[in-house]
Amino acid sequence: MFQLSNTVIGGQIFSGLCLTIGLIVTICQMKKSKKKKCDVKSLDEYSYRELFHFFINEEDHYDKIHLAKEFSERMHRQAEIYMMTDHEDNCDFPDHFTYIEYEKEKVKEKLDYINERLFKEKYLDWLDEGQPVTSESRYWWAQTKLHLITYLIQRQPYHLTDGIWLRGVPQGPMSSIDAKLFSIFIDELGNGDEKQNHCNVYLNILNDLSLNIPSIYSKEFICQKQIMDISFQKPLLTLTTSLFPKKFYPEILGYTLWLETTSTAEHSTLRKLLERYNLNPKFSLLHTTIDNNCNGHGQYARDCVEKYLDDIYEKQGLDAVKQHWKRIWIGYVAYGTTGEIWNDLRNLFHQSEVLSPREEFIKLIEKKSFFAKTIHGNRRISPGDPLLNELFRTNQAEQICSQLENSKWIVKGNPRQSRFLNHVVSFNGPMYQVFTADELSIISRWIISLSPSTLNEMLSLILKRRKLTENLVSHVKLQLPDGNEEFLLKLFQGSPSDLLLAFRVSKWNLPSDGSNVTKDNVNTCQLIKSIENNEILSQIFDKNDEDISIIRKWILDGSPIPEETDEKT
């Protein structure tokens, strides 16, 4: 018999092992490749909030960079179609975004027209009408402080990424165009002062409402259920386009042109609305100051476009100018029309009418009861109240709510000054991280809802009737908190809060005999008598209309006034 040597046998075994290992590796690679192929999602399989998270953290998601480019190109294609005709349903005016061929003077005229018309219709006309915020007005989303807060929450992704469309501005040696764009960018960032950083300033508004906003880079930020998905679409466009600053350079010029052309009209009104509800207006003040079309960002944006097209003409000719201008205007339209939240916001308001802020808070208490029933020891909300553990154990959520709203832990209408939020659930408090950002928002809305609603009605009434005082003559004066006096009609032209305070200091909100006001004696208050007895206020307020009813309710509610703004700008 022929016998194989040990060496030959060993070699065959080794070869067999290598072949087996090779087959295993090949099979694993095929499975891995197949799995990877299955894991690849298309753009439409992601929500706007998911895409926002990818591209605010772009260095962690290089594998999805193609989706960023695809999203920007899609929005630009839609804008190119949209801009070819007028749109009667446009919330600004029909021909705002309508494309025109490039001629310096004609483009300048169109931009002037847009700026002036928006400022007139959104701000000046609104002032003349008495700054209405009714459900039928342009600013229906600011009917109450709660409405405005809901709007501010929706704008988190947009305003907390302010300036990000320019994050790809070239560094190192730069052209005059890039220098101007960088100047805009650095202004948005605060010029090295974190207190002037636009994102920080907006965050301060939310913090003043005790809304605990997660970092915009975190998963928690996009998981806030209180923010609609559509609210992420506009900032998503700036995130995706800014990742390709060379490819989309003309479109980025267009983004800049839209934002800086329309900003003054938007923020002039928002400033008034923020002041109206005693919220810090600094965010809007910054924009109305630096975004103007005379010597601010508005003019910078125009200069950049004009210089860019001049350079194109010198190097490539007139046909290239037409192509690049069209791309600039596509950027203008894309940024201006992407991510309109208004229909979704109306639906959100309708949904919120199903549950009042109080009912929403009670549901939150019920949700936490299972875990809360054993952890409060001997604690009570106030001395003499039942033990918290017992209230939670017996599902007395409504009783807990009632006790809280009348306790030292809550300042009605003011979340920031309420110890429940500034101490109990704060970093140093015993309930730190017990509530999510969405849940803290529920608590803040409930606290705000505890302030009398008649205050907003009274402010709206004063603003509505203010115009009637312009041609009146009266020597009636009211006393001021500092002991001085001021003419009644002059107070009408100033801050409504100052007028209400003067009514209180002058005791026009008290019965003539100095007693406590009741439904029976409210008509003896000087404020009411001046209307009903055909004195000066009868020429301003209608005694047979709802005017007098609103004034009576304001007096009976204790004549509330907005609290003084914490930070003067």
Kindly report, residue by residue over 323-343, the tens digit of the pLDDT. Answer: 999 999 999 999 999 999 999
Kindly report, residue by residue over 515-545, the tens digit of the pLDDT. Answer: 999 999 999 999 999 999 888 899 999 887 7
Question: Global pTM?
Answer: 0.83
Confidence band of 39 (pLDDT split at 50, 70, 90)? low
d(CA 152, CA 141): 10
Kindly report, residue by residue over 141-191, the tens digit of the pLDDT. Answer: 998 889 999 999 999 999 999 999 999 988 888 999 999 999 999 999 999
Q: Is the pLDDT of residue 211 over 50?
A: yes
Residues 316-321: what's their mean pLDDT?
96
For the chain, give the mean pLDDT.
Answer: 89
pLDDT of residue 2: 46
Residues 276-281: what's their mean pLDDT?
88
Tokens representing 263 are 């900003």
Q: Is the pLDDT of residue 302 over 50?
A: yes
Kindly report, residue by residue over 94-109, the tens digit of the pLDDT. Answer: 999 999 999 999 999 9
Note whether 351 and 276 are within 8 A (CB): no
User: What is the chain's Cα-based Rg?
Assistant: 31
pLDDT of residue 358: 93
pLDDT of residue 568: 35
CATH architecture assigned to 72-352 = Up-down Bundle (1.20)
Domain residue ranges of the chain, discontinuous segments joined by +: 72-352, 357-449, 454-556
Q: Write the burial class of residue 98 (CB in 10 Å: 0-12 exposed, 13-18 middle, 19+ buried).
A: middle
Helix (H) or strand (E) holding 371, with range, is: helix 357-372
Three-class SS of residue 131? coil
d(CA 207, CA 345): 22
- How many CB atoms are located within 10 Å of the residue 59 CB? 5
Residues 412-428: what's their mean pLDDT?
87
Q: Is the pLDDT of residue 9 over 80?
A: no
Confidence band of 386 (pLDDT split at 50, 70, 90)? very high
Kindly report, residue by residue over 488-508, the tens digit of the pLDDT. Answer: 999 998 888 899 999 999 999
Between 3 and 86, the more confident residue is 86
pLDDT of residue 23: 65
